[in-house]
């Protein structure tokens, strides 16, 4: 099993690149953002709770997200591996993920961090807001999401760097060029399916 985290700020292109990686390497995609939006749209108790945070640009509490991830991993025992997108977003989530994977006799092998300058991120997110229909893609909420990222999520990169698992990748090239660089890193562990 090969497990990858795609890491990066809102708007860095994690969603787009995850799709490419999933197609090429046949990994199971776990996006906490997508899972949460699905809960919100089905008006589940978890979704109703999560929406309060998401609409304000705040992170949803760790225990909610960790529980969701755990059941997702359990649903796919035969997976070739997982790609985590938008998770872990706090050090507590990273530690919980390590424990979950250890219990399943596996681990995170690689963390690819997409690095994009702040001005470019803001441009992309505001632009996406005009078409995405996402209630958190407006200028005020985007600002809060970026702040949450800087204070709570950036330490996750340090955590994986200490474990020797972090690779930084320039994320403001074309989609194709960025994918090529990401692939080179993944190929060291797993060849395309």
Catalytically active residues, by annotation: 14, 89, 128, 134, 145
Touching ligand ADP, residues 99-138 (CB under 6 A): 136
DSSP 8-class letter at 156: H
Secondary structure (DSSP) of 62-96: HHHHHHHHHHHHHH-TT-SEEEEES---SHHHHHH
First to last CA, the chain: 13
33: contact with ligand ADP by CB under 6 A: yes
| Cβ-based nearer residue to ligand ADP, 58 or 122 | 58
Residue choice 27, 40, 65, 166 for contact with ligand ADP (CB under 6 A)? 65
The stretch among 52-60, 95-103, 105-113, 159-167 that binds ligand ADP (CB under 6 A) is 52-60
Alpha helices in the chain (DSSP H): 14-25, 32-41, 45-54, 62-75, 91-103, 118-132, 139-148, 154-162, 175-187
| Cβ-based nearer residue to ligand ADP, 90 or 190 | 90
Touching ligand ADP, residues 83-102 (CB under 6 A): 86-87, 89, 93
> Tokens 């395309």, residue?
192
Binding site for ligand ADP (CB under 6 A): 10, 32-33, 36, 53-54, 57-60, 65, 86-87, 89, 93, 136, 145
């Amino acid at each position: 099993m090969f497990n990858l985290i795609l890491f990066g700020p809102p708007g860095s292109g994690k969603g787009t690149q995850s799709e490419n990686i999933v197609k090429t390497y046949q990994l199971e995609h776990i996006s906490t953002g997508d899972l949460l939006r699905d809960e919100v749209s089905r008006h589940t108790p978890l979704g109703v709770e999560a929406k309060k945070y998401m609409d304000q640009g705040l992170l949803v509490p760790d225990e909610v997200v960790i529980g969701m991830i755990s059941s997702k991993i359990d649903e796919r025992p035969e997976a070739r591996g997982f790609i985590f997108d938008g998770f872990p977003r706090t050090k507590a989530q990273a530690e919980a993920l390590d424990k979950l994977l250890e219990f399943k006799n596996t681990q995170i092998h690689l963390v690819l961090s997409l690095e994009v300058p702040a001005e470019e991120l803001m441009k992309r997110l505001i632009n996406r807001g005009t078409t995405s229909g996402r209630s958190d893609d407006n200028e005020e909420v985007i600002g809060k999401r970026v702040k949450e990222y800087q204070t709570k999520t950036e330490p996750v990169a340090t955590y994986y760097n200490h474990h020797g698992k972090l690779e930084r990748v320039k994320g403001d090239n074309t989609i194709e060029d960025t994918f090529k660089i990401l692939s080179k890193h993944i190929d060291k562990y797993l060849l395309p399916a």
